[in-house]
Every structure is written in C-alpha cells, then in structure tokens.
C-alpha cells in the first residue's frame, strides 16, 4: 500500500436541461480541467481531517472577515470531507466490505471558483471518494460513485441537489442524463449515456462578484415542484424537450438549433423565478455578440456557444470591458 494517495475532480458545466435534474428531467453536462479539486490521503497514526484555506476561524480585521465570508460563504470544505468519509464508511458496512485499520490524515485544496454554479463543493466530495476508494481498494461503478456523492450532500448535509453534477464528475465525460422516475423505480440509477459527438465552440464566463449558494435557488424550485406548481411542472417538461432537441441537433451538427435551445433554456428559467438582475445582465452580455448564453448551474457563471473566431473576439471584448472572466473549457473525455 502506498504511503499516500491523491483524488482529483473537476468543475461541472451544465450545457442544457438544468435545473430539471432534480425533478425527473434530462440534462447534458460535462466536466472541464481548467480548475480542479484535490484531496490527499496520507498515512497517519490516527484519523485526522484537516481544514483547508477557507476553513480558518481567524482574520486580520473586520474587512478581512467580511471579504472572506462574502467571497467564500459560510462553509468551507471541512464538513464535506467529514460527511464523505461517513457516507463511505456506511456504504462499506452496507456492502459488507471490510476496511483495514491503518490511520490517515485527509486534506484538500481547490482552485474552483466558489458559489458560481460550477459544482465546486461536489468536486471536493468526488475527489474525497476517489482518494478513499484508492486507499481502501474499494471499487465503485460510475453510477454508484455518483449516488454516494449525492447522498453526502442531500442526506448528510441536507443540501437540496440533483444528481447531474455528481454524474458528470463520476463519468469524467460529457453525459446525456435522463432522470426518469420510472427508470429509478426499476434501477438504482438514471439513464446515463456518454456522448460520442464532440462539443464544439463552447465558452464559459463568470464574474467573481455574483456568488450565490445553489441551495437558495434549489430550495424554492423544490418546494414549487413538490406542491405541484403548474408553471414549475411545465418548465421541467420544456427543459426535457430542449435537451432531447439539443441532442438530436448535436448528432446533425445543427449549431443554430443548439444555440436556440441554450437560449430558450435560460429564458424559461428567467420567467419562472426572480433572478439577480446582474446575473441576467451577464447572460445578455454573452448574447450581445450573437452567441448563446445560459447559466452553467445555479448562477454566477454562464455557458454558451459561439459561431466563429470573429464572434469569439467580440465576446472577449464585451466581457473584458465588464471585468468578466472567459475561458474555452478543456472538456474532459475519459477513455
């Protein structure tokens, strides 16, 4: 057994269908390697879970405290490591998998922008599961890995969340996901299919000043869905249809239809809930050049497609003037 192991996971970008993943919908999402979370597990004489950079409890002054909480939120990664370890132990007990008794210390680092809808918290969880699985020699199927990561947030930490982020991070490949309830009744997982067609001319843009926890959005939508809100139910069906239409267009390399689907995805969301005006402005800024734009996740970061190099240059100029970051994601494709 090695003296230490490293687990790595990447941020997720939802290309179409979100946020229907938590409501029996369909989505297409991928992970990209421009940022990452790492969890390191090293042999130790005890079990030790170490805090990360954002978990500190002392600050230089009031301004330092305010800036820290405003930019990073109230929670760091320490609770994610602890909850993941607990879910992993429970899984092994339920599966009658014996674990060795060697101690370890668990630590993490991440450079994924926080609270921008890029699934940075889930990446820490996924990296933790990979490290623990390697350390104990426990193999997990991709769907099972995603389910365990989802249980960490929903069951242990009581954070409203769908499976989409965890599926993308489990498969490390662009995935079409169908969360049909009938399928879940017969199987412990949804319909997950790796996409074979390449995703082209994708951009991601984000503003560091638009941070907002995903639970704020998801809690409202969950309540409306469970109470049978007609507009919410209609929105879920529309997002599902857009996902199917997008996938068919992808097979035909029909970029006009794909762009229309991306824009419609956001427009439905914008009519369904009250969004931060600045977040709406970010989407409209992306569309100014003719590109499509929608939220990557819960808000703060957007994703879309551009037509050609000229449109990309216009995008870059528009975002630069507004101090918005833009990247062309290095999409991860597992073998």
Tokens, residue 273: 């809930």
58 is catalytic: no
Q: Which of 21, 147, 165, 178 is catalytic?
A: 165
Cα separation, 279 vs 253, in Å, equals 29
Burial track 303-312 (b if 16+ CB lie within 10 A, e otherwise)? bbbbeeeebb
Residue 229 backbone phi and psi in degrees, to 5: -55, 120
Assign 298 to helix, strand or coil: coil
Rounded to whole angstroms, how far apart are CA atoms 237 and 240? Answer: 5
Q: If you count DSSP H runs as helices and E runs as strands, how many of each does the chain have, helices first? A: 11, 12
Residues 6+ apart with CB under 8 A from 251: 197
Question: Alpha-carbon distance 318 to 322, whole Å?
Answer: 7
Catalytic residues: 165
């Amino acid at each position: 057994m090695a003296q230490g192991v490293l687990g790595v996971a990447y941020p997720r970008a939802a290309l179409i269908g979100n946020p229907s993943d938590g409501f029996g919908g369909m989505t297409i999402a991928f992970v990209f390697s421009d940022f990452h979370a790492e969890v390191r597990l090293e042999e130790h004489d005890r079990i030790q879970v170490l805090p990360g950079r954002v978990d500190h409890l002392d600050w230089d002054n009031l301004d330092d405290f305010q800036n820290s909480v405003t930019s990073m939120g109230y929670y760091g990664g320490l609770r994610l490591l602890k909850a993941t370890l607990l879910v992993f132990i429970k899984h092994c007990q339920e599966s009658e998998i014996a674990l060795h008794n060697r101690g370890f210390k668990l630590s993490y680092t991440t450079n994924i922008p926080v609270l921008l809808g890029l699934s940075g918290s889930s990446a820490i969880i996924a990296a933790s599961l990979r490290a623990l699985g390697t350390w104990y020699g426990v193999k997990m199927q991709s769907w099972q890995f995603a389910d365990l990561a989802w249980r960490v947030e929903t069951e242990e930490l009581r954070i409203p969340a769908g499976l989409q982020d965890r599926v993308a991070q489990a498969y490390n490949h662009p995935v079409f996901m169908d969360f049909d309830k009938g399928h879940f009744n017969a199987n412990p997982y949804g319909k997950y299919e790796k996409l074979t067609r390449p995703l082209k001319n994708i951009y991601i843009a984000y503003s560091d000043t638009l941070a907002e926890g995903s639970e704020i959005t998801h809690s409202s939508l969950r309540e409306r869905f469970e109470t049978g809100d007609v507009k919410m139910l209609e929105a879920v069906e529309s997002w599902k249809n857009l996902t199917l239409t997008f996938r068919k267009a992808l097979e035909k390399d029909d970029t006009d239809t794909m762009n229309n689907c991306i824009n419609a995805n956001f427009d439905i969301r914008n009519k369904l809930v009250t969004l931060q005006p600045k977040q709406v402005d970010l989407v409209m800024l992306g569309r100014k050049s003719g590109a499509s734009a929608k939220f990557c996740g819960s808000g703060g970061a957007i994703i879309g497609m551009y037509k050609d190099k000229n449109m990309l240059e216009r995008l870059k100029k528009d975002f630069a003037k507004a101090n918005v970051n833009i990247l062309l994601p290095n999409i991860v494709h597992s073998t």
